């Protein structure tokens, strides 16, 4: 039986059968591919646009999400920067205030050294006149601090005015630029006496009046005008300002002109009060 089977199924026949099977498979594959290709193309005409549309929707959603995330991040950074800018602006403001305070203290120190022979106490300006701007200032020192009427007030190395009112915890200084202010003064270099008269309207141009110089007085622009010894209330030798445009009057007997005050009344914040009265100095 085995021999019979061997005679029927020979290696040659097996090889021929395998070759035929492979050929059949190859032909079938070719034929099926030809049949499927039209269907595949027809399906692709529908599927590919849908796929592209879905891909576009997906990409658009991702891009919108990324844009929203970027906007949120930029908004947060912008808020952080705004906060930091506000902090820096506040720090800069405080720094400027500290610098201004330091400059005021430096000026007070220089003024104190310039008039070292007079005893003084510092005070701050806490108010101005409601009627005539800069004609008077309210100071934060009063009778409890030893302040008295007619004490001289100085700042910026020059004369501010004189104490005209004293209360328990504050006082009022009437300035030399007020309309009713008169100061007995003199040219520091020539010793020619004169009178300095306040004028708030003229002060808008940066000047007050100087008058009653003798016609023979040799006063030049820039000469220092200081308080004189003959003043009844003002201590001697305190700078009032500098002379400008002093010319003969129409009576041919006197000269008049202008004075640029030594004190910056527009920005006055801190002053020194000389705690000795002119009357006390005279009695000494």
For 56-81, how does the pLDDT look when each residue is reduced to its tens digit (9 = 90+)?
565 666 677 677 778 878 888 888 87
pLDDT interval class at 88 (50, 70, 90): confident
Q: Which residue would you say has higher pLDDT here, 33 or 160?
A: 160
Q: Are strands 270-274 and 182-187 parallel, antiparallel or unpaired?
A: unpaired
Backbone angles phi, psi at 66, to 5 degrees: -65, -40
Mean pLDDT of the chain: 81
What mean pLDDT comes out for the span 245-268?
93
Lowest mean pLDDT among 132-146, 182-196, 222-236: 132-146
Lowest mean pLDDT among 74-78, 101-105, 227-231, 268-272: 101-105
- DSSP output for 87-99: HHHHHHHHHHHHH
For 125-170, how does the pLDDT look when each residue is reduced to its tens digit (9 = 90+)?
999 875 666 789 999 999 999 999 999 999 988 999 999 999 999 9
Phi-psi group of 182: left, alpha or beta (phi > 0 → left; psi -120 to 50 → alpha; rest → beta): beta
Tokens of 103: 């400059």
Q: What is the pTM of this model?
A: 0.65
pLDDT interval class at 214 (50, 70, 90): very high
């Amino acid at each position: 039986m085995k021999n019979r089977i061997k005679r029927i199924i020979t290696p040659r026949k097996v090889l021929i059968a395998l070759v035929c099977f492979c050929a059949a498979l190859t032909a079938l594959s070719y034929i099926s591919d030809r049949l499927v290709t039209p269907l595949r193309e027809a399906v692709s005409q529908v599927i590919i646009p849908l796929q592209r549309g879905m891909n576009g929707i997906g990409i658009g959603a991702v891009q919108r999400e990324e844009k929203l995330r970027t906007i949120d991040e930029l908004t947060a950074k912008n808020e952080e920067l705004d906060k930091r800018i506000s902090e820096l602006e506040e720090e800069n403001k405080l720094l400027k205030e500290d610098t201004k305070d330091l400059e005021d203290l430096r000026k007070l120190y220089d003024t104190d050294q310039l008039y070292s022979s007079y005893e003084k106490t510092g005070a701050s300006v806490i108010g101005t006149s409601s009627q005539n701007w800069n004609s008077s200032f309210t100071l934060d020192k009063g009778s409890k601090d030893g302040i008295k009427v007619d004490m001289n007030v100085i700042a910026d190395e020059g004369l501010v005015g004189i104490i005209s009112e004293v209360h328990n915890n504050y006082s009022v200084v009437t300035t030399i630029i007020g309309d009713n202010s008169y100061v007995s003064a003199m040219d520091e270099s020539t010793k020619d006496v004169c009178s300095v008269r306040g004028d708030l309207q003229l002060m808008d141009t940066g000047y007050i009046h100087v008058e009653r110089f003798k016609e023979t007085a040799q006063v030049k622009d820039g000469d220092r005008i200081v308080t004189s010894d003959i003043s009844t209330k003002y201590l001697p030798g305190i700078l009032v300002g500098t002379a400008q445009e002093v010319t003969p009057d129409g009576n041919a007997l006197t000269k008049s002109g202008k004075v640029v005050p030594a004190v910056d009344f527009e920005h006055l914040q801190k002053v020194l009060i000389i705690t000795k009265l002119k009357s006390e100095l005279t009695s000494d």
